[in-house]
Amino acid sequence: MKHASALAVAFLSLWLGSVGVGHAGEVTVAVASNFTAPMRSIAAEFEKETGHVAKLSFGGTGQFYAQIKNGAPFDVLLAADAKTPAKLESEGIAVPSTRFTYATGKLVLWSKEAGVVDDQGAVLRSDRFNKLAIANPKLAPYGQAAIETIEQLGLSNPLSSKLVEGSNIGQTFQFVSSGNAQLGFIALSQVFADGKLREGSGWVVPSDYYTPIKQDAVLLQSGHDNEAAIALLDYLQSNKIKKLIESFGYEIAH
């Protein structure tokens, strides 16, 4: 009898385990490049706590917009702006009333080398560099913010010959981290963790120098009945995850 009871318990455990697996889902997420580091952490916690798996693709918001318009099977978009999710909603490609701002980004002037960038960005007026990387301002909100900052500083003409453009903020970061550009305007989240720069030197640009970079999430029509997609959007709005996002240098509305 004891042997039979042990077998019953074993079969019950296997059955319960299979039920848990059956309820676990998968969500495909298009993620703006600047949000790469936090989203990897979020996805790991999300899977641990819910069993759902988030399959992540990172890239430029403008590129994702084109892919989604052409039928790319993403369930959720985490954009680098507010405009693109709103546009997808107006075009009937995103689910109405699911948009929300998951983070507000910050711009930083960054060098891979320590001691190069001062806390006022005065290096921009020096001859200590010959290339300044920015993201394509027509496609990337961080690129537009960089242009607005340069104009605010009155340096549009002096810096025009030094600008090199990345197609998105991820490529822009690569230009600077590889040393191909001595300086770059990138997302603070790309070089910031636990309240400090991970390496190099930087100037966090005052937020009144550029239009606020509100980054919105939205549920796409392909994910409207996906339990994992809906769960992920809820998870992003939890206090625990808001604090995690803040630790990467974003501003969060509580």
- For residue range 8-50, what is the model confidence (pLDDT) as tens digits? 433 333 334 433 444 689 999 999 999 999 999 999 999 999 9
User: How confident is the model at residue 193, as a pLDDT?
Assistant: 84
User: How confident is the model at residue 8, as a pLDDT?
Assistant: 42
Cα→Cα distances 59→64, 120, 185, Å: 7, 30, 17
CATH topology match: 2-104+213-246 vs 107-204: yes
How do beta strands 76-78 and 196-197 pair?
unpaired
Residue 58 clears pLDDT 70, i.e. is over it: yes
Residue 53 clears pLDDT 90, i.e. is over it: yes
Residue 4 clears pLDDT 50, i.e. is over it: no
* DSSP codes joined into one string, 49-61: HH--EEEEEEE-H
Q: Where are the domains of the chain?
A: 2-104+213-246, 107-204
Average confidence score pLDDT of the chain: 91
139 Cβ contact partners less than 8 Å away, ≥ 6 residues apart: 60, 61, 62, 63, 167, 168
Topology adopted by domain 107-204? D-Maltodextrin-Binding Protein; domain 2 (3.40.190)
User: How confident is the model at residue 2, as a pLDDT?
Assistant: 42
List the alpha helices (DSSP H) in 70-123.
83-90
3 state DSSP class of 95: coil
Are 33 and 169 in contact by the 8 Å Cβ rule? The answer is yes
Residues of the chain with pLDDT > 90: what percent? 85
Q: What is 2-104+213-246's CATH number, 3.30.470.30, 1.20.1250.20, 3.30.750.24, 3.40.190.10?
A: 3.40.190.10
Torsion of CA 245, 248, 253, 254, to 10 degrees: 60
User: How confident is the model at residue 19, as a pLDDT?
Assistant: 39
What distance in Å separates the CA atoms of residue 101 and residue 85, rounded to the nearest whole number? 10
What mean pLDDT is predicted for residues 207-236? 97
pLDDT confidence bin for 94, thresholds 50/70/90:
very high
User: Residue 235: which of 104, 52, 92 has the closest Cα?
Assistant: 52
What mean pLDDT is predicted for residues 60-72? 94
3 state DSSP class of 108: strand
Q: What is the pLDDT of residues 140-183, one digit of tens each?
A: 899 999 999 999 999 999 999 999 999 999 999 999 999 999 99
Residue 244 clears pLDDT 70, i.e. is over it: yes
Q: What is the pLDDT of residues 98-131, one digit of tens each?
A: 999 999 999 999 999 999 999 999 999 999 899 9
The pair of structure tokens assigned to 5 is 């009871």
What distance in Å separates the CA atoms of residue 88 and residue 197, rounded to the nearest whole number? 35
What distance in Å separates the CA atoms of residue 56 and residue 31, rounded to the nearest whole number? 7
User: How confident is the model at residue 254, as a pLDDT?
Assistant: 66
User: How confident is the model at residue 195, as a pLDDT?
Assistant: 80
How do beta strands 107-111 and 76-78 pair?
unpaired
Residues of the chain with pLDDT > 70: what percent? 91
* DSSP codes joined into one string, 145-197: HHHHHHHHTT-HHHHGGGEEEESSHHHHHHHHHTTSSSEEEEEGGGTEETTEE
The pair of structure tokens assigned to 6 is 């042990």
